Amino acid sequence: MQKRIYKRVAAAIMTAAMVVTLVPQVGKTSALAGETEQSLEAVAARGTYEQRFMDLWSDIKNPKNGYFSPKGIPYHSIETMIVEAPDYGHVTTSEAMSYYIWLEAMYGKFTGDFSGYGTAWNVTEKYMIPTDADQPPTSMSKYTPSKPATYAPEYQDPSQYPAKLDTGAPVGSDPIWSQLVAAYGRNTIYGMHWLLDVDNWYGFGSRGDGTTAPSYINTFQRGEQESTWETIPQPCWDAMKYGGPNGFLDLFTGDSSYAQQFKYTDAPDADARAIQAAYWASEWAKDYNVNIDTYSSKATMMGDYLRYSMFDKYFRKIGNSTVAGTGYDASHYLLSWYYAWGGGITADWAWIIGSSHNHFGYQNPMAAWILSQNSKFKPKTTNGQADWATSLNRQLEFYQWLQSSEGAIAGGASNSRNGRYEAWPAGTATFYGMGYEENPVYKDPGSNTWFGFQAWSMQRVAEYYYKTKDVKAKQILDKWVAWVKSVVVLKADGTFTIPSTLSWSGQPDTWTGSYTGNPKLHVTVVDSGTDLGVTGSLANALLFYSKAANDESAKNLAKELLDRVWKLYRDDKGVAVPEARADYKRFFEQTLYVPSTFIGKMPNGDVIKSGIKFLDIRSKYLQDPSYAKLLDAYKNNKSPEFTYHRFWAQCDVAIANGVYALLYESNPNVDYANINPTNGTFDKAVGKQADLSTTLSMQGYTFANLSKGTTALRLNTDYTVNGNTVVLKKEFLSTLPLGDTTITFNFSNSYTKPFVVTVVDTTVVVVAGDVKIQMFNGNTSATTNGIAPRFYLVNTGSNSINLSDVKLRYYYTIDGEKSQNFWCDWSTIGSGNVTGTFLKMATPKAGADYYLEIGFTSGAGSLNAGQGIEVQGRFAKTDWSNYTQTGDYSFNSSGNSYVDWNKATAYITGKLNWGIEP
C-alpha cells in the first residue's frame, strides 16, 4: 500500500499551480542552450543509468502519457482517482513543481539544453507563485510588521472548529519584512503556494471567477486529526461567492464579522528543493557555458522569503512561548511546516505568520549551505546570508538531537504545544526550549510514520556531505546508513522491500550541544513495501553518501535498488507498482465535520452541511473512469488495487539514475578542479623540515585561497602560489599538531578540494604495536562544558585481540577539580560494552593532569586482524563547568574526521601498544 498520505496544516488557507513543454527533437535546442548540439555519437555513448534517466524524462514529457495539463502544469499523478495529500490526481502541489525544476536541471546536465529548466521556472512563476493580481500590493503594502497577525488557537479535532480569534493574545514583531521590501522593492511574497486545482475540477476558478483554470485551493485547516479524508476544499481567494454567507471562512475561524480575503500557504520543503535544484543547474550549466543566472536569482529571492518558515507562528519567543518576541528571539532557524500570508480583497490589510511546528523531514541543509556559502546565491537582504548560515548549523543539530539509537531520525519539535502555547509536561525533552513531538503537525496517520521522510530528508544531508565533507553530516549519515542497510531487504528472487511504516518509542535526550546516542529513543519497522518514489530517493541518498565516504556497500545497495525497480516495474509510462488501498472505503464512509449552524454549497451545487460524507461534496468522482472499480470493491468488502504514476515518484527514480551516472558512470574519477598530489607528510624533526607542494589542475575554475577549518591561510606567509604550483611553507607546517590536518583548497563557485598533511616527528619514538588509534574531537571549541573524543581503534596485527584486554587514554587538564561523568554516545560494539574511568596523574605533564581511560567489557568480544571499532565518547564535570581544551595534550584542534593520532595511547594487558605518553 502507498503510505504517503501525509498532509500539511496551516492557520491560513493554501493553494498552487504549474506547466509543460513538448519533447525536444534530438539536435534541436534553443538559444538558452548555448547552441549546443546533441550529436548521435553522444547519445550512443550514454551509459546505462544516464540512458534510463533519458528514457524516463521522455516518458514524463511525452504528452500522450498525461503527466502535464494543456497549460504545461505537472499533475500530482496521471491517474485521477487518488487521495493522498491532494484529494484528486489532477490537483497538484508545489512539491511536484520543485521536482519538475530538478528534473529539467539534470536534463540540461546530460544534454546542454537548459530550455526546459527555464520553462519549469517560468511555469512556477506564472502558476505556483501567486502573482500581484492574486496578492494585491495595495493590500500587502498595508502589512504592519509590528502586528503580523491575529492569534487563533489550534485544536486537536475538526469538531472543535471554528477557532475563535483572540485580539488580546501576545503576538511578536516581524524582523525581516523591512529587509525584504528594501532588497526587492516589492510588497508581495515570492514563495510557492502548496496546492493547485490544475483543471479547476472543483470549480472555484481563478480569483473566484468560477471558470478559469488553474485555481489556488486549500484543504487542511482544522487541527492534527484532520486527515485528507476529513477536509473541506476551499478557495484561496474567498470572495464569498461559494460556501455559505461568509464563504468558507466561518468553518475555520470564529469572528464577529468576515471580510472577503485571499490567503496562501508555503510548503518550505518544496521551495528548498527548488533552490537545491537551481544550484545544481547553475553548476551544470557552466559545463556548456550557458548563462542561467536569471533563474539563480529567482531561487535566491525565494530563499530570502523562505526565512519566514524560520519563525514561530505568531513571532513568540522560542523556548518562552507565552511571551511576544521582539525580533530574532522568535526564530528557531529551522524549516518549519509552513509559512502563510493573506489580506483583504475589498479592503487594504494583510497578515503573515510563520509556524511553530518543526519536522525533521522538511529540513534541507543543502539549501542552507547554498544560500549561506555560494556567492551566486547570496540573498540580497542584509541578514539573509547570516540567517541561513545559522540555520545550517541549527538543522544539523536538529538531526543529531533526533537520531534514534538505531540511526533513524525521529519526528521534531514545537514551540507551541497543542497549537495553543501550552506548557510541556514535566520530563519532555527539549531542543532550544521547544518540546519533542513524535509526530509533529498531524496524527492521522502520524507524520513521522512514513519512511519516505527518512529518504527525502537524508538525501539532502548526503548531498551536503558530498559537497562539504562536514563531519557532523558524516556522523549522522554513518549511523543512518548502517540502519538503512539493516532494514532494506534484497530477496534472492530478485525482488526487494524497503520500510514503509515506522513506529517510535521513548524520546531523545534534551539537547545540550552534542549527540548522546539517545539510548531511550527507538524506531521499529512496522511494515515494508515497494514505494518506488521513496526507493529512488533512498538510492539517491546512498549514492551521494557512498561517493563521499567511499562506502562500496552503500553504492552497491543503491545500484541493486535501481536495477530491481527498472527490471520489475518498468512500463510504457514510466515505473509503477500495483497498490491495494484499504483506506479507500473512506470514500463512502468518512463523515466530514460541519457545524450544525453552517449550510453552504460547492460550486457544482454539492451541499455542505452537518452529516455529509467525503463523496457528498466531491460528487464529480462518480463520473471518474475508475469509480465503477472503486464501488465494486467496496460492495464486495475488498481493497481496490490501483497502479499510480505519481509525478514526483517518476522524477525521484529518474534523478537517482542520473545521480548514479554522474557519480559512477560519467568520468567517475574526474572532478572539476583538481590538485596533485592530494596529501603530503611533514617531519618536525630538526634538519628534516621541508615545504610541501602540489599542482593545480584548473579545468575552467580559478584558485581563490587556502584555509584550515574556518581560518584563511596567509598568502606569501603560510603558502605561496607560482603559476599552477602551490607551496605550503615549512614555517607554517611546523605549527601543525602531530597527525593529519586537512588544508582546504578553495576555488571559484565555492568548489573545494582537500589536501591532507600528515605531521610526524622522527625525533620522538612512537610506539606502534598491534593496534593504532585514529581520533578527532567532536567539539573543537576553545572552551566547552563537554569534551567529546571520537576514537577508531584498529587491529593492525595478525591475531585477534580480546577487547577486554585493551585500554585507551585521552589526556587533558581538568581546569578546576570537580567530579566527572562519562558517556559512550555510540559504539559499533554497543555503548553498554564501553567503560570510562577518570584518573588523576601523580605528576602533571604539559597539557595533562588527568586522563580518561576507556575500557571494554567481556561482552565487547574480540577485534579481528584488520578490523576496527568506533567509540564516540563524551565527558563533563557534574556541575557542567567549562574545560579549556585548546592546550590539552590529546586534543585534536583541527581534525574533523578520523586520523592517526599518537597523542592518545592504547594499552594491551597494561603495556603501551600505541602512541606517545605526555
b/e code 212-242 from CB counts within 10 Å (16+ = b): ebbbbbbbbbbbbbbbbbbbbbbbbbbbbeb
Question: Cα dist. 446→115, 363, 413 in Å?
Answer: 40, 18, 14
Question: Cα dist. 560→47, 141, 245, 487, 571 in Å?
Answer: 16, 54, 58, 15, 19
Tell me which of 59, 87, 95, 154 is the catalytic residue: 95
Which residue carries 496521471 as its cell?
78
b/e code 576-609 from CB counts within 10 Å (16+ = b): bbebebebbbbbeebebbbeeebebebbeebebb
3-state secondary structure of 490: strand
Which residues face 496 on adjacent strands?
Answer: 490
Tell me which of 269, 397, 470, 551 is the catalytic residue: 269
- CA pair distance 49, 752, nearest whole angstrom: 27
- CA pair distance 507, 436, nearest whole angstrom: 7
Task: Please state the length of the chain.
Answer: 918
- CA pair distance 148, 576, nearest whole angstrom: 45
Amino acid identity, position 637? N
Contact present, 731 and 651 (Cβ < 8 Å): no
Residue 41, burial from CB neighbour count under 10 angstroms (0-12, 13-18, 19+): exposed
Q: CB atoms < 10 A from the CB of 553, how many?
A: 12
Query: Among the residues of 10-127, which ranges form H helices?
Result: 40-44, 48-61, 94-111, 115-123
Note if 470 is an active site residue. Answer: no
Grid coordinates representing 908 are 594491551
Contact present, 846 and 889 (Cβ < 8 Å): yes
Specify the DSSP class assigned to residue 25: P
Contact present, 848 and 787 (Cβ < 8 Å): no
- CA pair distance 625, 859, nearest whole angstrom: 62
Of the candidates 669, 680, 672, the one whose C-alpha atom is nearest the C-alpha of residue 726 is 680
- CA pair distance 738, 452, nearest whole angstrom: 44
Residue 713, burial from CB neighbour count under 10 angstroms (0-12, 13-18, 19+): middle
Contact present, 9 and 121 (Cβ < 8 Å): no
Long-range Cβ contacts of 201-206 (<8 Å, 24+ apart):
201/88, 201/90, 201/91, 201/620, 202/233, 202/602, 202/603, 202/604, 203/602, 203/603, 203/604, 204/235, 204/237, 204/242, 204/603, 205/603, 206/237
Grid coordinates representing 257 are 464579522
- CA pair distance 887, 330, nearest whole angstrom: 37
Strand pairing class (679-683; 752-760):
parallel
The helix (run of H) or strand (run of E) holding residue 216 is strand 215-218
Contact present, 247 and 162 (Cβ < 8 Å): no
Maximum separation of any 2 CA atoms in the chain, in Å = 93
- CA pair distance 14, 221, nearest whole angstrom: 9
Q: The sheet that has 739-747: what strands, in order across it?
A: 679-683, 752-760, 739-747, 703-708, 711-712
Note if 463 is an active site residue. Answer: no
Peptide bond into 214 cis (omega under 30): yes
Q: Which amino acids are annotated catalytic?
A: 95, 269
